[in-house]
Amino acid sequence: MKLYIPALVAVLAFALTGCGGGGKPAAEATSKPTASATAKQRAIVPDLVGKSALEAKSHLDKLNYRARFFGPDGQSWSAKTQVDDTVLTVSTSPAAGGFSGNDFVDVRVNISEKEFLTGATARAAAKDVADAEANIARRYTYSCGVYGPGHEYKSFEEVWGSGDYKDGGEACEIKILGISPSSKPDLLPSEQKLVDDVAARGVAIKSPGETFGRIMNLCAKLDNTWGATYMDKPTTPESRAEAAVALTICPDAPHAAELQNTVNSPRVADGTMVVGQAMEPGTWKTKPGVKGCYWSRSAGDGTILANDIIDFAPDGVTVTVNAGEGFKSSRCGVWVKIG
């Protein structure tokens, strides 16, 4: 029995050490588990649905993800396009609670890139308009004075208190940001509304800028040049409509009565006209003191219905005309409708 003990020990020793000798234990020979995902992959995608694209991008940036945006049509956005808070998140891939296998999280938003860029341009333009409307008084300067370069004023109220206003003379000229209104077609909405108000009174608008300029000039100062005051000049449908609209923005003008008179009492000059077209039916009167005034009323066939030659009328001449008649006057000056 003793003879076999050494052999048994040797067999056991061989089994423990292995054939190759010096090998590691089986437990140590197996590699230790390593992380199969990076820190990015381990980050959970948060719930971003309903948040703005800006918020979604901010959340994902903090998790070291890059957001890739897609429109409702599935088309990807350019990385150069900067989203804003008007763009909303509809869904994400991976969805909330999931993990991304790369650097990106795909974010589907409620608008295509093309629609967004178009809207962004419109919003920028609308903001520019809103800013301009908020600072509209800064847009205008009035140049007044007949001789030399004239003087500049920032409002028609400033014009009213100036020597240029008291001295009479020609009307002032408004400029918008240093440019004549006739050269500036892009009026602000509040400016265009004045032009539209003139059009609503049956006037055809040829140049919105020129119409706006005349309205504003009427508020600053009336044109009293070339030996004829504003009230001596014939009215037209255009001039009456512009005077009416001017009164809506400067009802406290020192010359408001003249503007109102232009609206209420049209004026015509000497000439030949058809009543009901160039001249309204009704009663008309000249200025006092007319001399050598001739007038006539005629039927449609040319028959003279009434006429007169006035050598001198201290109180002026009064004539009543009817629709369809012809009316002619010479050396009578301006006729004003009084009834």
Phi, psi for residue 285 in degrees, rounded to 5: -140, 145
CATH class, 39-114 region: alpha beta
Whether residue 3 is predicted with pLDDT greater than 60 in this model: the reply is no
- Written as six digits, the tokens of 234 are 């014939």
Q: What is the spatial distance between Cα 128 and Cα 115, in angstroms, rounded to a whole number?
A: 20
d(CA 110, CA 112): 7
Q: What is the pLDDT of residues 74-100, one digit of tens each?
A: 999 998 898 888 899 999 999 999 988
Report pLDDT for 127.
Answer: 86
For 125-145, how does the pLDDT look when each residue is reduced to its tens digit (9 = 90+)?
A: 888 888 888 888 899 999 987
Tokens of 296: 């006539």
Mean pLDDT of 290-298: 96
How much is the pLDDT for 121?
85
282-286 vs 318-321, strand pairing mode = antiparallel
Q: Looking at residues 20-41, what average pLDDT do you find?
A: 41
The arithmetic mean of pLDDT across residues 239-266, rounded, is 96
Distance (Å, whole) CA 88 – CA 52:
4
User: Which sequence spans correspond to the domains of the chain?
Assistant: 39-114, 136-264, 267-337
The predicted model gives 144-162 an average pLDDT of 82
Average pLDDT of the segment spanning 153-174: 90
| Angstrom distance (rounded) from CA 235 to CA 163 | 27
Per-residue pLDDT, averaged over 219-238, amounts to: 87
Residue 59 reports pLDDT greater than 80: yes
Phi, psi of 231 (to 5 degrees): -75, -10
Whole-prediction pTM value? 0.66
Beta bridge partners of 151: 144
Starting at the edge strand that comes first in sequence, how are the strands of the sheet with 140-144 ordered?
151-153, 140-144, 173-176
Burial class (CB in 10 A: 0-12, 13-18, 19+), 4: exposed
Q: 322 to each of 40, 65, 216, 319, how far by Cα in Å?
A: 92, 85, 36, 10
pLDDT at residue 42, as a whole number: 64
Assign 329 to helix, strand or coil: strand
Closest CA to 195 of 157, 246, 235: 246
pLDDT at residue 21 tops 80: no
- Give, as one character, the DSSP assignment of residue 99: -
Looking at residue 135, what is its pLDDT? Answer: 87
Identify the residue with better confidence: 145 or 281.
281
- Select from 53, 28, 181, 177 the least CA-distant residue to 112: 53
Pair of tokens at residue 7: 């052999």
Q: Are 101 and 41 in contact (CB under 8 A)?
A: yes
- Torsion, Cα 24 28 31 37, to 10 degrees, reads -160
Rounded CA gap, 276 and 9, in Å?
140
Compute the average pLDDT of residues 196-210.
Answer: 95
* Local confidence band at 226 (pLDDT 50, 70, 90 cut-offs): low
Contact criterion met (CB below 8 Å) for 53 and 88: yes
* 326 in Cβ contact with 275 (< 8 Å): yes
Residue 243 and residue 259 in contact, taking contact as beta carbons nearer than 8 Å: yes
3-class DSSP state for residue 109?
strand
Distance CA 187, CA 268 (A): 32
**Is 191 within 8 Å of 185 (Cβ atoms)?**
no
